Each structure stands twice: as structure tokens, then as C-alpha cells.
Structure 1
Amino acid sequence: MSNPVIADNKPAKVTLEKGKKYVFCACGRSANQPFCDGSHSGTGITPKPFVAEEDGHAFLCQCKHTGDAPYCDGTHAQFDKDQVGTEGPG
């Protein structure tokens, strides 16, 4: 299993619809960040399906190291811009 790629060192602000199912990219390789596009194939990393609990904006993790996936918990602050696009620490 590989480590996730740091897609960005800031969260993505998205608009979610209550009751709608989304699939969060956990590998960092998706071209459709922060959502899965199937790029995880062969990585051993599994995307995280979730259902929005309310309508409105949410901040979803793009560093892929949050402890509250798919939501940002501020972990991205430990990554520099030069680490974006690389595999993060194990």
C-alpha cells in the first residue's frame, strides 16, 4: 500500500446537498479533487463514501491526512506548498 498524495495544502470548499451520497478521494490522485475519479486503482487506498448531513458549504480535506475524513481538521498546516503532489509521510 502506498501513502496518499498530498493533492493540496489547503481544504476544498464545496457545496453539498443533504442526503446526497459523495465519494471522497482518499489517495490524492483524482483529477476531480476532492472527489474520487477511480485513480486509486492499484494503490491499496480505498475512497471514502459519505452522505451529506446538511445542505451548504463544507471544507473537505485535500492533504489526505485528516483525522476526520472527508472533512478538513487543519492537518494540512504541517505541509509546505513544495510537498503538494508528493506522497506524504506514512
Structure 2
Amino acid sequence: MSMYDKGVPYMVKVKEDEAVHICQCGHSKNPPYCDGSHSAHPTGEPLSYTAQKDETLSVCGCGETGNAPMCDGSHNR
């Protein structure tokens, strides 16, 4: 199962100064987080993101976004 089979965004809560690594290859077994699967599927390195404030990231779960890996609402179209 691909991380894009969900069809709706993953909502990722991060705290100020917290670092997360978001999968961009689509093969993670722990979506939306990177699990190193890109080493066997060289389709994209993870996005390393450090929060500047407490926030919730909306990570694409449909594979149709034009703003990868973040959701742009394409799942609603």
C-alpha cells in the first residue's frame, strides 16, 4: 500500500524546534514519515523540516498535489 492510497491529508502536529522527515518517495511503511525506503526506491529524498512554531502540517495523502509533499487540496477536485 502506498502512502498516497489514503486519499486525504496526513495531519502532522509538530512543536517549535521539532524536526520531522517527511517521505517523498511514497514507499514508507510509516507514512507520512520517512523510514529510509527511498534507498530502494530512488524517487525522492525526504523533506527535512524543523518547525519554527507549534503547528500542524498537512501532508499529501492522495499523490495529486502540486506542492509536494504538502497538501494543496487536490484531493477535493
TM-score over 0.5 (shorter chain): yes
Q: Which runs of 5+ in 2 are unaligned?
A: none
Per the normalisation by structure 2, the TM-score is: 0.74
Paired AA for residue 19 in structure 1: D
C-alpha distance after superposition, 1:57-89 (max 9, x if no partner): 2221123442333321112345xxxxxxxxxxx
SS class of match (1:73): coil
Asked whether 1:25 is paired with 2:23, we answer yes
- Could you tell me how far 1:25 is from its partner in structure 2? 0.4
Whether the 8 Å contact between 1:9 and 1:77 is mirrored in structure 2 is: no
Whether the 8 Å contact between 1:28 and 1:62 is mirrored in structure 2 is: no
Identity %: 36
Q: Which runs of 5+ in 1 are unaligned?
A: 79-90
Q: CA RMSD in A?
A: 2.2
Question: Which 4+ runs in 1 deviate beyond 6 A?
Answer: none
